[in-house]
């Protein structure tokens, strides 16, 4: 008979599966053309993705099963679900009726699922790459998914006309898929969001990121999410380039 302790140790896995369910609900919402709701479910999945690891560390319940479940859930919530949002945006940009899509021979609608494939590839690489224990190499899948969520929020904001320039064009959406697929698997080092110390010399990257994110939220409100992810990628690139320049000067 399971003991209270053994049941408690399954709590992180339960939270991970809630991540998976949230991703499934996001897909359903995207199929119903409610892209803002689809985005909200991805954000909920990201919350569960944070909580499962936090809970596992808190109660000392990290297991190999949990690691595998986490990756499988992330493929759905941060790979397939955002790809479905792009799929629906692309379908609308082609001005297709609601009952027409990929299975009716509109082969351009295969493009969004390239991002799902690269998200799966990135998660597999992350599990095998020992360099990513305290930071990232390439864009993390949750951040990539939140970039897409930001498009849906932007379309439902006062900045809708600006976001519409990118989301109403098949070729602009294709470029977004191509760029984000590249970022997922590129060798660009990206810093972790975890603040391990409040000392400026230690946490300057995270504090600079949070400061910029706060400014973007004040200016753009709900339309800020995509810009915050772009800000994160930009900062990571700047820190990488300045770090390389610093190394050359010491040679």
**pLDDT 10s digits, 81-115:** 999 999 999 999 998 888 888 888 889 999 999 99
In the predicted structure, residue 12 carries a pLDDT above the cut 90: no
CA dist 176 → 20, 28, 58, 66, 84 (Å)? 25, 23, 38, 32, 14
Q: What is the mean pLDDT of residues 53-67?
A: 73
Q: Domain extents for the chain?
A: 4-249
In the predicted structure, residue 4 carries a pLDDT above the cut 80: no
Q: What is the pLDDT of residue 196?
A: 65
Higher pLDDT: 56 or 20? It is 20
**pLDDT 10s digits, 165-214:** 999 999 999 999 999 999 999 989 998 877 666 666 667 888 999 999 99
Separation CA 161–CA 11 (nearest Å): 44
**125: confidence class by pLDDT, cuts 50, 70, 90:** confident
Q: What is the mean pLDDT of residues 223-237?
A: 96
Q: pTM for the complete prediction?
A: 0.90
Separation CA 245–CA 129 (nearest Å): 25
Average pLDDT, the chain: 88
Range with the poorest average pLDDT among 65-69, 141-145, 217-221: 65-69
Range with the poorest average pLDDT among 50-54, 93-97, 160-164: 50-54
Q: What is the pLDDT of residue 3?
A: 55
Q: What is the pLDDT of residue 5?
A: 59
Q: What class has domain 4-249?
A: mainly alpha
Buried b (16+ CB within 10 A) or exposed e, 231-242: bbbebbeebeee
């Amino acid at each position: 008979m399971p003991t209270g302790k053994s049941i408690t140790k399954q709590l992180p896995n339960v939270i991970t599966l809630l991540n998976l369910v949230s991703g499934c609900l996001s897909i359903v919402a995207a199929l119903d053309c409610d892209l803002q709701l689809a985005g909200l479910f991805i954000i909920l999945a990201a919350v569960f993705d944070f909580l499962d690891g936090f809970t596992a560390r808190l109660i000392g319940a990290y297991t190999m099963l949990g690691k595998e479940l986490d990756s499988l859930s992330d493929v759905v919530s941060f790979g397939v679900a955002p790809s479905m949002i792009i799929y629906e945006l692309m379908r609308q940009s082609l001005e297709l009726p609601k009952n027409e899509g990929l299975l009716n021979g509109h082969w351009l609608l295969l493009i969004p699922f390239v991002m799902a494939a690269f998200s799966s590839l990135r998660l597999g690489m992350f599990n095998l790459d020992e360099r990513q224990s305290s930071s990232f190499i390439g864009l993390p899948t949750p951040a990539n998914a939140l970039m897409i969520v930001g498009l849906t929020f932007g379309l439902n904001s006062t900045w809708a006309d600006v976001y519409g320039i990118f989301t109403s064009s098949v070729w602009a959406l294709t470029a977004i898929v191509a760029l984000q697929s590249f970022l997922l698997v590129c060798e660009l080092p990206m810093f972790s969001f975890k603040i391990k110390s409040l000392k400026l010399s230690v946490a300057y990257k995270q504090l600079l990121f949070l400061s910029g994110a706060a400014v973007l939220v004040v200016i753009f409100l709900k339309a800020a999410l995509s810009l915050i992810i772009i800000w994160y990628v930009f900062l990571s690139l700047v820190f990488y380039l300045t770090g390389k320049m610093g190394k050359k000067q010491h040679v």
